[in-house]
Structures are given as C-alpha cells and as structure tokens.
Amino acid sequence: MPNVSPLDVVYLHLSDIGWSKVVLWLLGGAFFIFLSSWGVARFGARHRYILRSPLSRQEQRMYKLLERAVPEFYIFPQVGFQSILDTPHSGDRMKSVARIMNKKSSFLVCDRQFNPLVSVEIDAWGGAEQGVQLRKEEILTEVGLPTLHVRWRKTMEEADIRKSLLQKSKRARQIIRKAEEASGMDLQS
C-alpha cells in the first residue's frame, strides 16, 4: 500500500470535484465577505440606534408644568406599572403580570417618601389609545391610585393643574394641609 499524505487525499478529492467548482466557490465566498464588510462599512452595524430624549416635546412641557404646579411632590415620567405594583403569589400570578406588562404611567406624582399619590395621563385623542388608558386606569383604581387625565393645551395654567391634582388625591390634600399648618401659608391655591 502506497504511503498517502493527507494533502494527497485533499488533492485527489478536489480533482474529483473539479477545480473550476472549487475556484467558483472560493470566489463566491470572497465576494460575499466583501459585500458583507462593504455593507457594514457603508450602512453601519446591523442594529443601529440613535439616542433620543425619553420624553416627547409635549411630555417635556407637561413635566415642567407639573413640577411648577406641585413643587412639594416628586414627578416621575414614564413609570412602568411593574415598578409600582406587586402581583399576588397565587395561581393567577402570570395573568396578573401579563396584565401590567408594558403599561406605564405618563407621570407619577409621589410624596417625599416616594409613595405614589396620583398617576397623570396625557389624554389620547381617541381610538385604541383610549381603550389602553381605560385599562390602565382600571388597574390603578384597583390599588387605590387615582388617575388624573389631562388633555394638553398650550394655555394650561399651573393653578388649574394643581387644583385638579389635589381634587384627585386625598393624600396629596392632607400633605399640603399639613405643610400649610406648619408654615401658616395657604399652599392649596
């Protein structure tokens, strides 16, 4: 039996396939690699992201308005329900988690101990968004967190927002009343 090296085996196998096919496969692979690298260099990575503000312009204006209207409280934008709601450890837990998944409060107003007082929602103009907001309000009502719906207008006044917010939350009114008593000023107006 003749002594055959591994290179001889590869050479014999390639000659059976045909050198032209091997060359075509190598050229095709090189061309594919070139196109892939050219595409990445020309169009960027496969997943390209652009940094943006977490709040729309309307939401930014509303956030600033809320901060001025109720400076006694913390305002948190875009708070996920999973951050503020616990689910029961029962057989329906997964159903409860699914119900609050991907839902968030436009703005959450909290006292200085970070206890939620009111959820503020910028009202949708209608359609499917209204249904989502109703489901969100239903969930928050279930846990005793009132929801203040605000239809954005450029002419909104801080005093109107403050009055509406304090009407929605008994706890917020109590905190303001205590602060008034301590300072001797009228903070509710």
What secondary structure does DSSP assign to 132-184, as a single string?
HHHHHHHHHHHTT--EEEE---TT--HHHHHHHHHHH-HHHHHHHHHHHHHHT
What is the spatial distance between Cα 54 and Cα 57, in angstroms, rounded to a whole number? 10
Instruction: Give the pLDDT of residue 105.
Output: 92
What is the spatial distance between Cα 148 and Cα 165, in angstroms, rounded to a whole number? 7
Look up the pTM and report it: 0.68
Angle formed at CA 167 by CA 170 and CA 84, multiple of 5 degrees: 55
Cα-flanking dihedrals φ and ψ of residue 129, to 5°? -60, -35
Over the chain (189 residues), the average pLDDT of each successive run of 10 is: 65 64 76 69 67 90 94 95 84 80 92 95 69 85 91 82 91 87 68
